[in-house]
Chains A and B, each alone.
Chain A
Amino acid sequence: MLVLTRKLGESIAIDDHIKIVVVQIKGKQVRLGIKAPPETKIHREEVYKAIQDQNTEASQADLSSITNLANELNKK
């Protein structure tokens, strides 16, 4: 991994179209500004992790889960 040191207000350019700026440094938090073409997908890493976890949990369902669900749905 490439590691660069940047000061407040300084930025990093990735390719010709992506720019990441250090907007604010406050204690343990860094605020980053990202300039990128509209088709660039930008997400916090946790979003991907949450989706992976959801997929994993989803794949653990079996037909008894559906039976339980059907029974519950049928309750008035």
Chain B
Amino acid sequence: MKIKTTRFGELEVDKKDIIEFTEGLLGFENLKKFFIVDPGDQTLILWLQSIDDAGTAFPIIEPKIFQPNYMVKLLPVELNSLSLENLSNASVYTVLTIPQNVTEMSANLKAPIIINNKTKTARQIVLQDSKLEVRFKMYMDLKKYIVNYASDDSKRTNVNVANKEQGVTTVQANNVTANTTNNKNAEA
């Protein structure tokens, strides 16, 4: 199905890639259906794009990229709510804020997004651990990671392949510019 988005133009999304947030995200309770867009840029940032609202998308990133020791501990009732037995069949993302001064960017470690890769249901879960920050400054950690790995294209491909093995399919939106969008429209 074709989905219109403000940032990426019109994208073709497979029904099986649609992620359902039955409770929405905090502050966005009305938006239930999303999909993940991979713009394929070096920042490793993906977008959780709303289907219900073309203008709403959240930049997200896998926390293991900037915080290898980050551990999500879910209560049994939370696992149940996602029909999960453990996190081995789930994807974990953190929501990013990217202010004008990008070095002040932060990730929400307190309330990660957990996706059941099989059922494609997802929730933003507020973790009980009081040490976790809602706005964890991680620019330097991201920079370190990217300096070490991002120039290495093979590494990037591996990240994508790994994602696919876990069952997360992202919609590729390479070279998103006004021009490519127009071309896509023309082809369609």
A interface residues, Cβ below 8 angstroms from B: 38-39, 41-43, 47-48, 50-59, 61-63, 65-66, 68-70, 72-73
A51 touches B108 (CB 8 A): yes
B99 surroundings in chain A (CB, below 8 A): 57
B interface residues, Cβ below 8 angstroms from A: 7, 25-28, 39, 41-43, 45, 56-59, 75-77, 95-100, 102-103, 105-106, 108, 110-111, 124, 126, 128, 134-135, 142-143, 146, 176
B126 touches A48 (CB 8 A): yes
Classify the secondary structure of B's interface with A. loop
Q: Kindly state the separation between the CA atoms of A56 and B176 in the bound complex, as whole angstroms.
A: 23
B27 touches A63 (CB 8 A): no
Q: Kindly state the separation between the CA atoms of A66 and B38 in the bound complex, as whole angstroms.
A: 12
Distance in Å: Cβ of B182 to nearest Cβ of chain A: 16
Q: Kindly state the separation between the CA atoms of A63 and B106 in the bound complex, as whole angstroms.
A: 17
